Amino acid sequence: MSLNKEIEKRRTFGIISHPDAGKTTLTEKLLLFGGAIQIAGAVKSNKIKRHATSDFMEIEKQRGISVATSVMAFDYLGKRINILDTPGHQDFAEDTYRTLNAVDSAIVVIDVAKGVEPQTEKLVNVCKDRNTPMIVFINKLDREGLDGFDLLDELEEKLGMSTCPLSWPIGMGQRLKGIYNIFERKLRLFRPHGSSLEDDAVVIEDIDSDELEQQVGEQAAKELRSEMEIIDTVYPDLDIEAYRRGEQHPVFFGSAINNFGVKELLDCFVKISPPPLERPTDSRLVRPDEENFSGFVFKIHANMDPRHRDRIAFLRICAGVFERNTNYYHVRLDRQLKFPNPTAFMAEKKSIVDRAYPGDIVGLYDSGNFKIGDTLTTGEKIKFTGIPNFSPEQFRYVVNKDPMKTKQLDKGLDQLMDEGVAQLFTKVDNNRKIIGTVGALQFEVIQYRLEHEYGAKCDYEPLNLYKACWIKAKDKKALAEFEQRRKNSLARDKKGELVFLAESSWALQRVQEAHPDIEFVFKSEV
């Protein structure tokens, strides 16, 4: 099959939401429809035997939350679907932000009862900054929630979306009768925990026909006709090109836990979502149909299988064909590397692939060659741009609880920091190690993984800091003076770069005023 045909088959997207909106449950049902799994797992942390496929880390199973981006691939209706299920919790937002750099579109999951929540706003804004096409799935329709039109208003007012409803609920909670699929002019009746097979769908081209009353009852039919009249009057018809430009946002309703409304979402998604898109680099735009291969690392996962101590780099293929056992150029290291066992993913389950195409995510076994943001090519010196590195907001001193396991602790910290979800700083004046994270829950995850994956135990000591900011200066004399005067507040990051640790906003402002030749950087690209 030609490269262009393979590209056209690919659909690579991320699923984003506020915690507990049902994102991982929706992922499971998409996998179920795609035939990738036979039984959908549960996300909750009680003592059920089957957990969500995408929540494969032990701590995810115990806590009932996603703490790392999970990659899954399957075939559906002639398309190759690559799903990236991201953490919803704000404490793991940095992993999600980077993952959004590796997708071509996104599905935003909204809880029908809670509407637009803070973390959803942040993630949608990241997508909007990149003009990422977004489809909205309003979930948990089997519960009482906000009115459909109120939800659409929230999406427009809080998220600045231009909504285009493509399915519409008939009732809600106990009164839920079904949904009307506007996109395909079909009625789907609600069956709790049903399989949503094609048999459940009733084709109703004209909602004024008597068939509607026979299916849902007189009152529900009357309400649907009234609401459809408003939709036809107020909301625009689907414009696929506007959606692909990130200017229009289709909206679907359903209940992921009941397999309801998910098929409508998936069927539409494979028809309208974009194939792999162009990617910016530091020198030019890279098109997916270019003959020469290129791709970038957006995530690293240490100990994906703790029994084998494997470290996996997640590579997004941007152009050309990636082939097993072929030499590729590592731009940062300026050397050739060969990969005998590249893998495709189903969460933690991996299978070796011989070839992969633009849009695919490939796992590369890594002995320490890769950092997040690294570029692989057939020889061209380019660097893909846009992968963010954020200043941490929470800090703790690391205390080694078992001096006999110092080696294991150092190795664990080194490898976990490479994943990019936390940052390690070493104080200049006393060499004490400090972990900085975007959210507090990360400290618990690091502590857990150090013990269970590396056999090292650590505690934390509180450290009251406001920000860590990277230091830049063109004037070497000014930099030397700054280092001498502020030695007690300086640290080195994992790359050896100088970092200023500010105790408060006021203290930072004072230091900035005292050192006008020093640039303080709070966000950078990796």
- Whether 45 shows a pLDDT value over 70: the answer reads no
Would you report the helix, strand and coil content of the chain in percent, each value rounded to 5? 30, 30, 40
Q: Which of 272, 289, 305 is the last residue of a domain?
A: 272
Same domain, 22 and 160: yes
DSSP codes, 342-364:
-EEEETTEEEE-SEE-TT-EEEE
Same domain, 421 and 515: yes
**CATH code for position 499:** 3.30.70.3280
Q: Which of 380, 343, 499, 356 is nearest to 434 (CA)?
A: 499
Identity of the residue numbered 406: T
**Containing H/E element for 453?**
helix 441-454
Average pLDDT, the chain: 85
Average pLDDT in the 380-403 region? 87
User: CA-CA distance, 44 to 31, in Å (whole number)?
Assistant: 18
Q: Which of 272, 291, 312 is the last residue of a domain?
A: 272
Q: Which domain holds residue 456?
A: 391-525
Buried b (16+ CB within 10 A) or exposed e, 267-287: bbbbebbbbbbebebeeeebe
DSSP codes, 108-120:
EEEETTTBS-HHH
Residue 87 belongs to some domain of the structure: no
Give 60's contacts (C-beta < 8 A, 6+ positions apart): 51, 66, 67, 68
pLDDT, tens digit (0-9, with 9 covering 90-100), for 443-467: 988 898 899 888 999 999 999 999 8
Residue 300 belongs to some domain of the structure: yes
pLDDT value at residue 306: 54
pLDDT value at residue 89: 44
pLDDT value at residue 60: 41
Beta bridge partners of 181: 167, 186
Same domain, 191 and 61: yes
Can you tell me whether residue 204 is helix, strand or coil?
Answer: coil
Q: Which residue has the higher pLDDT, 277 or 37?
A: 277
The band of 90, judged by pLDDT with boundaries at 50, 70 and 90, is low
First to last CA, the chain: 36
What is the percent of the chain where pLDDT is above 90?
A: 54
Same domain, 174 and 258: yes
Same domain, 113 and 164: yes
Same domain, 404 and 315: no
Same domain, 462 and 419: yes
Q: Which residue has the higher pLDDT, 96 or 448?
A: 448
**CATH code for position 339:** 3.40.50.300
Residue 402 belongs to some domain of the structure: yes
Same domain, 398 and 344: no
For the entire predicted model, the pTM comes to 0.79
Strand bridging mode 285-286 / 279-280: antiparallel
H-helix segments, 184-341: 211-216, 218-234, 240-244, 262-272
Q: How many structural domains comprise the chain?
A: 3
Same domain, 217 and 313: no
pLDDT, tens digit (0-9, with 9 covering 90-100), for 163-218: 999 999 999 999 999 999 999 888 888 877 654 444 566 777 778 888 888 888 88
Lowest mean pLDDT segment, chosen from 66-75, 266-275, 306-315, 335-344? 66-75
Average pLDDT in the 320-345 region? 93
Q: Which of 377, 400, 422 is the last residue of a domain?
A: 377
Q: Which residue has the higher pLDDT, 355 or 440?
A: 355
Q: Do 297 and 373 contact (CB within 8 A), yes or no?
A: yes
User: CA-CA distance, 274 to 306, in Å (whole number)?
Assistant: 36
What burial class does residue 522 get, using C-beta atoms within 10 Å of its C-beta: 0-12 exposed, 13-18 middle, 19+ buried?
A: exposed
For 365, half-sphere exposure in the C-beta direction (CA atoms, 13 angstrom radius) is: 16
What is the percent of the chain where pLDDT is above 70?
A: 85
The band of 115, judged by pLDDT with boundaries at 50, 70 and 90, is very high
User: CA-CA distance, 27 to 36, in Å (whole number)?
Assistant: 11
Same domain, 65 and 164: yes
Residue 83 belongs to some domain of the structure: no
Give 82's contacts (C-beta < 8 A, 6+ positions apart): 10, 11, 12, 13, 71, 72, 73, 359, 360, 361
Residue 79 belongs to some domain of the structure: no
Give 77's contacts (C-beta < 8 A, 6+ positions apart): 267, 270
pLDDT, tens digit (0-9, with 9 covering 90-100), for 217-242: 889 999 999 999 999 999 999 999 99
pLDDT value at residue 52: 46
Q: Do 3 and 357 contact (CB within 8 A), yes or no?
A: yes
DSSP codes, 382-432:
--B---EEEPPSEEEEEEES-GGGHHHHHHHHHHHHHTTSEEEEEETTT--
pLDDT value at residue 66: 38
